[in-house]
A and B are shown apart, each in its own frame.
Chain A
Amino acid sequence: NAGVMQNPRHLVRRRGQEARLRCSPMKGHSHVYWYRQLPEEGLKFMVYLQKENIIDESGMPKERFSAEFPKEGPSILRIQQVVRGDSAAYFCASSGRVDTEAFFGQGTRLTVV
């Protein structure tokens, strides 16, 4: 059973382009979380999704960022019109239940040039 899979591992985008980050949760997990880690900082919550539903997006910037977790396929974190400040490591985590530990993927390192 593969763990949480994120791709790509590294993504370089020019300012103004779109970034799409993908996350396939562990098999059987229906809860997906996205976190961002800026340089020299801890992990900051962005959004929590269940299949086809956004449960909590209180950590998402109001503009340019969106997330989805469709019935089929991976969860997608989409950043439109990227800016240099979006450069960070983006981690996805999944859990089988809301009251258990979450397992993290290896992250996508986004660099905006």
Chain B
Amino acid sequence: DQQVKQNSPSLSVQEGRISILNCDYTNSMFDYFLWYKKYPAEGPTFLISISSIKDKNEDGRFTVFLNKSAKHLSLHIVPSQPGDSAVYFCAASVLTGNQFYFGTGTSLTVIP
């Protein structure tokens, strides 16, 4: 049962434009959400997180938006750079729980 879903396996964006990566979840108990970035043959790297008491969190070029009623979150990268090309994983957890639930990832390609 995939509780966190990333329905777009891949995304291509021109350098300088905005990249929008989407994530949906089914468990209404989730109250902490994270985005990780992963390069081939490396471990995931934490990017940004948001708790359910917020609807937006911004860190430099990265902004995460949370829509609790729609059980949807998105990661915006602007402006996109070629070095952003990687697989992005969305993850969710219950703060009192024991694990992070990951989506299947979206492969972002930023075209120079």
Q: Is the CB of A56 within 8 A of B42?
A: no
Q: How far is the CB of A49 from chain B (nearest CB, A)?
A: 10
B42, B99, B105: the one within 8 Å of A48 (CB): B99
CA distance A58 to B99 in the complex (A): 10
Determine if A106 and B89 form an interchain contact, defined as CB atoms under 8 angstroms apart: no
Contacts A56-B98, A102-B46, A104-B46 aside, 14 further interface pairs with beta carbons under 8 A come to A33-B99, A33-B100, A41-B104, A42-B89, A42-B102, A45-B100, A45-B101, A98-B96, A98-B98, A101-B46, A103-B46, A106-B41, A106-B42, A107-B43
Q: A91-B44, A104-B44, A106-B43 are in contact. Are A99 and B99 (CB under 8 A)?
A: no
B80, CB-defined interface residue at 8 Å: no
Residues of B within 8 A of A105 (CB): 43
A79 on interface, CB distance cutoff 8 Å: no
Give the size category of B's interface with A: 20 to 34
A1-21 vs B, CB cutoff 8 Å, 1 = contact: the mask equals: 000101000000000000000
Q: Which of B32, B43, B97, B105 contacts A42 (CB 8 A)?
A: B105
Kindly state the separation between the CA atoms of A56 and B104 in the bound complex, as whole angstroms.
Answer: 22
The answer to the question of B95 belonging to the interface, with a C-beta cut-off of 8 Å to chain A, is yes
Interface residues of A (CB under 8 A from B): 4, 6, 33, 35, 41-45, 48, 55-56, 58-59, 91, 93, 98-99, 101-107, 109
Residue in contact with B95 in the complex, picked from A35, A56, A59, A98, CB distance below 8 Å: A98
Check: B62 CB closer than 8 A to any chain A CB. Answer: no
User: Which residues of chain B are near A35, meaning CB under 8 Å?
Assistant: 102
B56 to chain A, nearest CB (A): 18
Known: A99-B32, A104-B45. A45 touches B99 (CB 8 A): yes
Contact in complex: A55, B98 (CB < 8 Å): yes
Binary interface encoding of chain B residues 87-112 relative to chain A, with 1 for a CB under 8 A from any of its CBs, else 0: 00101000111111111110000000
Query: Whole-angstrom distance from the CB of B39 to the nearest CB of chain A?
Result: 10
Residues of A within 8 A of B22 (CB): none
